[in-house]
Amino acid sequence: MTTSNTESQEVRASSNFLRDIIAEDVRTKKFGDAVIQTRFPPEPNGYLHIGHAKAIVLDFGLADEFGGKTNLRFDDTNPEKEETEYVESIQADVRWLGFEWEKLRYASDYFGQLYEWALALIKAGKAYVDDLTAEEIRQYRGTLTEPGRDSPYRNRAIEENLDLFTRMKAGEFPDGSRVLRAKIDMASPNLNLRDPVMYRILHAAHHRTGDAWCIYPMYDFAHGQSDSIERVTHSMCTLEFADHQPLYRWYIEQLGIFPSVQIEFDRLNLTYTLLSKRKLLQLVEEGHVRGWDDPRMPTLSGIRRRGFTPEAIRAFVASVGATRTNGIVDIEMLEHFQRDDLNRRAARAMAVLRPLKLVIDNYPEGQEETVAVLNNPEDLSEGTRLVPFSRELWIEQDDFRETPPPKYYRLSPGREVRLRNAYFVTAQSVVRDAAGNVVEVHCTYDPKSRGGNSPDGRKVKSTIHWVSKAHALSAEVRLYEKLFSKPDPGDVEEGKTFLDNLNPNSLEVVSEAKLEPSLGSAQPGERFQFERVGYFCVDPDSTPGKLVFNRTLALKDSWAKIEKKAGG
């Protein structure tokens, strides 16, 4: 584990039933002297998303709490969907979240052992080769209200099964022509126990084993035994596997191997978000987003690029905890944790997204000065920096109104406001373009208000940010909104798909934002609070000649409001 003590405490802070189970198993020595061992078992068929972060924090965090270890194991039993690109991105994402695995393993490491175990089950009369087609197997399986029927091949002799299975492995039969099934109970109320398929024939190249195999184990035949080989004590997974648990136990019991225990917890669901690799892959492949790491994606690589921090994600996930019923969490709660973290840590800077020129008529032409600005008012140890100030500035278009509406206290003709950390200014007149739009505001300043301090106790109602025009850097700023416009994007009307719920305005590109010059040395990944505007981070597309920033989040915290309303 690379997490420091404080970081593990984050994870420890919230209670969840998984912790209680492990604590009890440790107390009763359920696994004898074995150390607590967990695993995080992603299928390398896509990039990890924020839902996986929950599983990672539980798998790694709980093991760590009990002095145990966690393996990263790729569940790579579907050669057709799996790729090395995903294997690499998953490792990078787990490390970025702050965790280090004990062993790196692949289910495919165990293909040989699993094959041996399949032979053992055949020899024990517990498995048979079935020639029914996939469709016939489905029909024979029955339904929740009707028992299944035995396959005509169910009672094949052991010798015949051994012969057919070895020939399946040797590549004698085409895809889909035969399967190996466990012989359990065709009348079981649990459909997973009605002679589940153990192996299928698939002449497909595997990302690691290449063409060595043309039969591949099913998830259920691979997962529990892989856990067992790794002496996993607590195999935590999401609730959709609860119905598979009897089968998980059946294989382990029949084989008499290390008794790993599966425990299910609730999937993380977030409003306005889809957490399914299959659907996220579709967004990427069809070009609805710019890639897996598009900052609008809920993938870990997407939200990392957006500027989210591992600290905030861990704290969020720990706060959500684990239960035994699926629910849905407001995306605002995740954003709240992220704002909280950035508010404490992000350096402040001044940036104007939609520039309007402000000229200080009584400020001497050619003069310039620097004003001292705190780097982070939440953390005085971050010190101050000097920001250049001069006669011509950029301010936000929104900070000036020629005819101010009621309760508008920012700049307007005759009104005095504070330029942050600099001076009091009073707007005097405007310059218009041919179309009548205000393109320049002229004002006067009070030299005695230096530092933004009132010279005589008179008050101004607002403070606005600014950037010196002569010193400003231009930047592209990408503003993101939610990727979907519906709280439950998976909820679609007839004839529509989740793609119809995409928010057409999820990306707005501001091409000529103006930044204070200190931002010129900012490196990709660096995070800032642009004062009064929001949290931003430098995009990897950024170069010294062309700065590119992503908006992580706007400043407004709607979650705090939701919480307050709820009396929290």
Give the DSSP letter of residue 411. B
**Rounded distance between C-alpha atoms, residue 109 and residue 213, angstroms:** 12
Per CB under 6 A, 537 contacts ligand ATP? no
Q: Which does 282 bind (CB under 5 to 8 A by kind): ligand ATP, Mg ion, none?
A: none
From residue 429, alpha-carbon distances to 396, 409, 434, 439 in Å are: 17, 17, 16, 11
Asked if residue 180 binds ligand ATP (CB under 6 A), the reply is no
Query: Which among Mg ion, ligand ATP, none contacts residue 355 (Cβ within 5 to 8 A by kind)?
Result: none
Whole-angstrom distance, CA of residue 198 vs CA of residue 126:
11
**How much is the CA Rg of the chain, to the nearest whole Å?**
31
User: Interface mask (CB under 6 A) for ligand ATP, residues 267-296, using x and -?
Assistant: xx------xxx-------------------
Q: Does 83 bind ligand ATP (CB under 6 A)?
A: no
Give the residue with the Cβ less far from ligand ATP, 59 or 531: 59
Instruction: Assess 464 for contact with ligand ATP (CB under 6 A).
Output: no
**Exposed e or buried b for every residue in 73-87, given b needs 16+ CB within 10 A?**
bbbbbbbebbeeebb
The residue type of 503 is: N
Q: Is 131 in the site for Mg ion (CB under 5 A)?
A: no
Residue nearer to ligand ATP on the CB measure, 279 or 290: 279
Cα(7)–Cα(310) distance, integer angstroms? 10
Distance, CA of 181 to CA of 199 (rounded, Å): 7
Q: Is 277 a catalytic residue?
A: yes
Q: What is the enclosing helix (H) or strand (E) of 114? A: helix 111-123
Q: How far is the CB of 182 from ligand ATP (least distance, A)?
A: 22
- Of 276 and 426, the one with the shorter C-beta distance to Mg ion is 276
Q: Which stretch binds Mg ion (CB under 5 A): 36-44, 266-274, 336-344, 402-410?
A: 36-44
CB 430 to ligand ATP: min, Å: 53
Q: Give the DSSP letter of residue 36.
A: P
- Write out the binding residues for ligand ATP, residues 233-272 only, by CB under 6 A: 237-238, 267-268
* Residues written for the chain: 568
Give me the catalytic one of 231, 267, 345, 385: 267
Q: Which of 126, 208, 277, 306 is catalytic?
A: 277
Q: Establish if 43 lies at the interface with Mg ion (CB under 5 A).
A: yes
d(CA 311, CA 298): 16
Give me the residue label for tokens 């000097």: 386
User: Phi first, then psi: what are they for 268, rounded to 5°?
Assistant: -80, 125
Give the total of residues touching ligand ATP (CB under 6 A). 15
CB closer to ligand ATP, 267 vs 482: 267
Annotation says 432 is catalytic: no
Q: Which of 18, 19, 54, 315 binds ligand ATP (CB under 6 A)?
A: 54
Closest CA to 76 of 104, 96, 36, 97: 104
Q: Is 43 a catalytic residue?
A: yes
Q: Where in the sequence numbering do the catalytic residues fall?
A: 43, 267, 277
Chain residues in the site for ligand ATP (CB under 6 A): 41-43, 51-52, 54-55, 75, 237-238, 267-268, 275-277
